[in-house]
Chains A and B, each alone.
Chain A
Amino acid sequence: MKLPALVSITAGLVPALAAGWLLFPRLIYKTEAQPLPFNHKVHTEQGMSCGDCHAVAEDGRFAGIPTTESCAGCHAEKGENPAINALVERYVEPGAEIPWLSNARQPDNAYFPHAAHVTGEKVACARCHGPHGESTAVRPVQVNRLSGYPRDIWGPSISRLRREEWQGMKMSDCIDCHRAGGRESACIDCHK
């Protein structure tokens, strides 16, 4: 008995679609673990804001990932929490910096000034980075094997269909937000 043409086509189409939509996203990203566990929610429940650790300095610099010194301000000694003990043993006491991995590192050919957005325009951090403050565990970083940049730039959905505004930080996302705010920009504003 001969196979109907539709069956033959489907036999090739379905595995290819499955491989493309399900397997490919797993292959294109590799997962790298963070050096320490971290609970954002515990800290925000204490009344801390994003800027307390991820500060934009008065001179406009984005301090970015917090230094060990800022952690040691509260966690200089060991206690009962194993994560805090690991922090103190491995980084605070030796005076070493924590090699946190960034989920939001933009490609080198893009210039993004945090000061202009956060300090100048009062854009909330969560608008681009999502509600990290509510997370109880710091996410491992998924790094794109081809481009070398983290997955948060593309967004969690391989289709780029976003359910939330913060899901994705590609150029088109920047442009959408600027256009929505009536702020047209020139290419050289970001690509110096």
Chain B
Amino acid sequence: MKLEVSRRDLLLAGTGAAAGIVLSPVPWKALDDLSIWTQRPPTPTPRPAGPLAFRFTSCTLCPAACGLKARSFGPQPVGFAGVPGHPASDGGLCPLGLTAHHLAKHPLRAVAPERVSGGKRETIDRAAAAAALAAAISAAAKDPKRSLLVVDGRPGRSLSRTFRALAAATNGRYAVSGSPSPALDALAARFDGPLALGVDVTKARRVVSFGAPVLTDAGTPGLLARLRAEGRRKPKSERLEVVHVGATRTKSAGLADRFVPIAPRTEAAFALGLAHVLLDEKLADAAFLAARTTGLAGLEALAARFAPPLVEQKTGVPAADVVALARDLAAGRPAVVLGSDPAEPLSAEADAAIAALNLLLGAPSGPLVARRAAPSEPDGDAKLAAVTALDAVPERSVGLLLLDGTVPEGLVPWARLEKLLADDAVVASFSAFRAGLGEKATLLLPGPAPLEEAVELDGPADAPLATFALAPALLAPPKELVLPEELLREAASAAGFELPPPGAGRAAAILAAKRGQLFDPATATTTPVSSLADAAALETAFAAGACWVDDPAPAPSGRFALLRDGETPRLLETALGAPGPEPVRVAALPRTALSAAPSSPLLTKLTRETALFPAPSGARA
């Protein structure tokens, strides 16, 4: 008997083999192993050596200036935790901060100066870098149509003073990256005297955000989320509630208790609609309005035009929902209304409408508190340039754009800077990375990476109390690295400009002001600055990671203007105009919009795609 193996038999055997492979561990085990292989880091983790120690500093990646507790082996930090009780962060820390010590070894890190010529990037030595910068400074000083523009991401430092001196000496301009809270600035600007405002969310029962990512990126990491979690143990009427109003369902909107989707660019109309209901139903804070504001009649006349049906037509929000939200805000006082995403600011008119809404709710007598800036060293006799708004710089008028390494592209988009540049302008950046604005530089003069230098660090400008730290370095910079201050002075001198010597420093200014407390992160205790012996004691404390926090400012006694001169026509035009086009949003990492540094490649996929923060209460000691 002869067996005949036909093509059919081979096909059946192949089918059986395929079934056998599927029923064996080969596919799923190989898939599992490959998935783990893909998660292996691109660079080997350095093996730490040396005695275990805990050191303290502050995170310099974004304006939150969170306290950092670094677990180190010898000089190498290997892990970070928040610092419970820290005046700026109270233990909070975001994923970027948790991996700040990775950034010095980032694949996009630059150490030596680089020049882009003919589309090619080449490494140059220090002398060539200084000469190129000097030539650009000299050319910018000679030609007013191709002047110098310095953009500083963190004003108030010694380096900022040098920037301002250089801008003044060359008839250039000095600009800073945008305000974190234009809506608060708009409110402070309507006070009949100088005033700065901060937000104390611990005093609020309702927080309304017009696009601000209050539950992910804005403010102290994790603070609002913690307050909401704590509130769940309270009766519903006492709980903190977050309402997000915006055209895009962002991560923060998704986490909010309520999301009110509105048509793009209709924030002003929606805010005036809420104002209409508050005034029409006499739900506004009458006592506050009578004692602390002017111009109520003007606002009433303006808001009267924004009846809920019209607001529904403009914003797409049902009129009943507008009325219900306004009533809820009035019933849920203290309430505060916050402005926009710093990376995507609202119009000035929307900020004005939000300011008026805050006044109707009496927010300046509750969650909005007066604050002072941290003491800064006086300008003295030095000739320093004043701050210029970027919008005031004429297009194509900049021959040398000098970018500080702390300018985040999320706040100062390249497109906004590019239109200011004259033909063949030099773009010099002190960024430590070939990323963000550093990638756009034609002359990259890399400065220290985060944690490689001590940084004078002001806390967020919208915090209820000013904070300041001289965040000590935790990592040694590469030997060949040139500090921006040194290079700038060398180049300016070569171009024929002598810059004034550095000032006495912020520590001396704080000691002279004799106000505030010094927080010791190791013991979580505070000491009045007035009890410190001298500046040396203060500097020693700063070198150990201490943070200065201001005393509460006295409540201001002046009045706020509900509407400023000439504001009504602009508000009407904006709020009654056609809705704008759908905004395009780029999905961002947590806080990357606020940071000039790229994120660590070792951040896991999970962390890259979510906005998870360790709760302050869970910060490990």
A-side residues, CB < 8 A to B, are 1-3, 5, 8-17, 19-21, 24-25, 28, 57, 59, 61, 107-109, 144, 146-149, 154, 158-159, 186-188, 191-192
CB distance from B578 to the nearest CB of A (A): 44
Whole-angstrom CA separation of A191 from B12 in the bound complex: 46
Tell me whether A16 and B20 are in contact in the complex, defined as CB-CB below 8 angstroms, given that A21-B25, A192-B604 are known contacts.
yes
Decide: A146 and B34 in contact? CB cutoff 8 A. Answer: yes
Can you give 22 A-B contacts (C-beta < 8 A)? A2-B6, A3-B3, A3-B9, A10-B16, A11-B16, A12-B13, A12-B14, A12-B15, A12-B18, A14-B20, A15-B17, A16-B20, A19-B20, A19-B21, A19-B26, A20-B26, A108-B602, A148-B40, A159-B25, A188-B606, A188-B612, A192-B98
User: B26: which A residues are within 8 A, CB to CB?
Assistant: 19-20, 24
Partner of B607, one of A24, A57, A148, A191: A191
Contact between B23 and A107 (Cβ–Cβ < 8 Å)? no
B39 touches A107 (CB 8 A): yes
Cβ 8 A contact of B25, one of A25, A107, A109, A149: A25
Q: Is B20 a contact of A147 with CB atoms below 8 Å?
A: no
Q: Which residues of B are interface residues toward A (Cβ below 8 A)?
A: 1-6, 8-10, 12-21, 23-26, 29-30, 32-34, 36-37, 39-41, 45, 52, 95, 98-99, 602, 604, 606-607, 612, 614
A8, A25, A186: the one contacting B16 at CB < 8 Å is A8
- Given A20-B25, A109-B604, A188-B606, 5 new contacts (CB under 8 A): A12-B12, A19-B26, A21-B24, A186-B612, A188-B612
Residues of A within 8 A of B34 (CB): 146-147
Given contacts A8-B9, A192-B604, contact A13 B16 (CB under 8 A): yes
Minimum C-beta distance from B242 to chain A (A):
20
Docked-complex contact A12 and B17, CB < 8 angstroms: yes
A191 and B602 CA atoms in complex are apart in Å by 11
Q: How far is the CA of A144 from the CA of B612 in the complex (A)?
A: 32
A1 to B29, CA, bound (A): 40
CB-based nearest B residue for A188: B612
Contact A16 B18 (CB under 8 A): yes
Main secondary structure of the interface of B (DSSP, over half): helix
- Complex CA distance for A149 and B612, rounded to whole angstroms: 28
- B22 nearest CB across to chain A (Å): 9
**A-B contact count, CB below 8 Å?**
124
> Would B37 and A146 count as touching, CB distance under 8 A?
yes
Q: Does the CB pair B24–A24 fall under 8 Å?
A: yes
Assess whether B21 is in contact with A16, with CB atoms less than 8 Å apart. yes
Q: Are B41 and A108 in contact, with the CB atoms below 8 A?
A: yes
Interface residue from B20, B98, B99 paired with A13 (Cβ < 8 Å): B20
Inter-chain contacts of A147 with B (CB < 8 A): 33-34, 36-37, 40
Chain A residue numbers with a CB within 8 Å of B602 are: 108
Give 6 closest A-B pairs by Cβ, nearest first.
Answer: A20-B24, A16-B20, A12-B16, A12-B13, A13-B16, A12-B17
User: Which residue in chain A gives the minimum CB-CB distance to B19?
Assistant: A13
Known contacts being A144-B33, A158-B29, A186-B612, is A9 close to B13, with CB within 8 Å?
A: yes
Q: Name the CB-closest residue of B to A111.
A: B79
- A20:B21 contact, CB within 8 angstroms: yes
Contact B16 A107 (CB under 8 A): no
B21 CB to nearest A CB, Å: 5
Residues of B within 8 A of A188 (CB): 95, 606-607, 612, 614
The answer to whether A11 and B13 touch (CB under 8 A), given A3-B5, A21-B24, is yes
Chain A residues, CB < 8 A from B13: 8-9, 11-12
Q: Which residues of B contact A13 (CB under 8 A)?
A: 16-17, 19-20
Return chain A residues, CB-CB under 8 Å to B2: 1
Among candidates B15, B45, B52, residue contacting A108 with C-beta atoms closer than 8 Å: B45
Q: Is the CB of A146 within 8 A of B30?
A: yes
Contact at B39–A109, with CB atoms within 8 Å?
yes
Q: A8-B12, A12-B14 are in contact. Are A148 and B37 (CB under 8 A)?
A: yes
A149:B36 contact, CB within 8 angstroms: yes
Residue on B nearest A20 in the bound complex, by CB: B24
Q: How far is the CA of A13 from the CA of B99 in the complex (A)?
A: 50
In contact, A146 and B33 (Cβ under 8 angstroms): yes
Residue with the highest number of chain A CB atoms closer than 10 Å, among B2, B14, B33: B33
Residues of A within 8 A of B15 (CB): 9, 12
A192 to B610, CA, bound (A): 12
Query: B365 to nearest A CB, angstroms?
Result: 38
**Minimum distance in angstroms from B66 CB to a CB of chain A:** 16
List chain B residues, Cβ under 8 A from A146. 30, 33-34, 36-37
Question: In whole angstroms, how far apart are the Cα atoms of A117 and B95 in the complex?
Answer: 24
A14 to chain B: closest residue by CB: B20
Q: Give the most central of B3, B32, B41, B604: most A CB within 10 Å.
A: B604
Roughly how many angstroms separate A188 CA and B619 CA in the complex, as a whole number?
13
Please give, as numbers and ranges, the residues of chain B lying within 8 Å of A9 by CB-CB distance.
12-13, 15-16, 19
